[in-house]
Amino acid sequence: MGAARLGAEVELVAVIGQDLFGDVAIDLYQREGVGVAHLRRTAERNTGVGFITLNAAGENHIVLDMGANHLLSTEDVDLAEPLIARSDAVLSVLEINPATAAHGLRLARKHGAITILNPAPAQPLSDDLLSVVDVLTPNESELRILSGLPPDDPTDTLELARRLLARGVRHLVVTRGGEGALVISAGADPQAVAGVPVTVVDTTGAGDAFTCALGVALAEAGVADEASVLAAVRFAVYAGALACTRLGVVPALPTRAEVEALRGDHPG
């Protein structure tokens, strides 16, 4: 939905339950212009849901019940290969089986699409998955978990990023909340992109908005080289900032016009 609001043509490959939450999801996707031709429904599991708690500072904690997300298979992805083949970018999260994510990104790489992985919920990942990722977008805690470390491990962020690059990832975009993001590409100096100052109401969905905007910008660029990734991150920090100014996730995902308006007010 975040990508659709930014003007992208979007299709979702997923599994949801035959329950009320699934009905609500399909209605919402259709109203938001998200394609559901590859959205499979099942009676075997419930639709995946998240329970969000928020503190007075607008910081969130999320408890997830993955539900039917666990049933998304490589066979589902194979059925979507014609869609993947004509896509500019393919984005996955880790709310599905990592092997399914790897298969989808491998097909995307085969067909020349840009591959983006938002590694949440974070877990240690195989080289097989990392080697088909053009752009990996962890926050600082997730970066440590991906490396098999505690989320508060003191190891230097740049050192951890370089280890992941050595395992096959082409670009690391480490999100840093209000401080913006750090872009680390193989063979290039790290680049810091400053955050955008806003009044924070709720940080829930900020990472989603950031990743959607990053994907849209890279799809429009048609390439994931150092310059295009950096430009995409500069666009994405505005979307992430806007998401923090509203309560909830879906209501907070910004439109293209809103992102461009904020860029005009805070050029970076």
* Active site amino acids: 208
| Half-sphere CA count of 162, side-chain side, radius 13 A | 9
Task: Pick left, alpha or beta for residue 104 (phi over 0 → left; psi -120 to 50 → alpha; otherwise beta).
Answer: alpha
Tokens 């003007």 locate to 7
Sign of the dihedral defined by the CA atoms of residues 67, 164, 134, 242, in that order: positive
3-state secondary structure of 8: coil
Whether 32 contacts 1, CB under 8 Å: yes
Looking at this protein, which amino acid is placed at residue 235? F
Q: How far apart are CA 211 and CA 190, in angstroms?
A: 19
Residue 76 vs residues 3, 44, 67, 125, 171: alpha-carbon distances, Å: 22, 16, 16, 21, 28
CA angle (140, 141, 147) in 5-degree steps: 95
3-state secondary structure of 243: helix
